[in-house]
Structure 1
Amino acid sequence: MNLRLARKQRARAAATVRADENRRLFGRNAAQKASDAAERSRLAKTLDGARRNDAPSEPTVE
């Protein structure tokens, strides 16, 4: 197989994958985006609520 054709085919496949990801991320309506943002916020609050306060925030090296 010609290397030039193989490179072009690989580039086309990568572009297709990138296009699919962009369609998934940016091809949504406002309600779906708001729903995702609310879900991320809820998960962040749950995680912060479960965080232990007795653990030091940064390990000390002596």
Structure 2
Amino acid sequence: MAEVINLRLARKARARTEAAALAAENRVRHGQSTSERRQRQAEDLRAAHNLAGHLRDKP
């Protein structure tokens, strides 16, 4: 005999897996990898520190 399953839970599980697959596809299509994002943040921080070092102090 077949195993009894809750259709509501099965439907929600299927929707979660489809949403996760769509999110992964969108990350590949539109996003940056984690290493690229960290490198860009480091470059922005370095540029901000460089600029702050060249600003004149207020009297």
What TM bracket, shorter-length normalisation?
Answer: 0.3 to 0.5
TM-score by length of 2: 0.47
TM-score (norm 1): 0.45
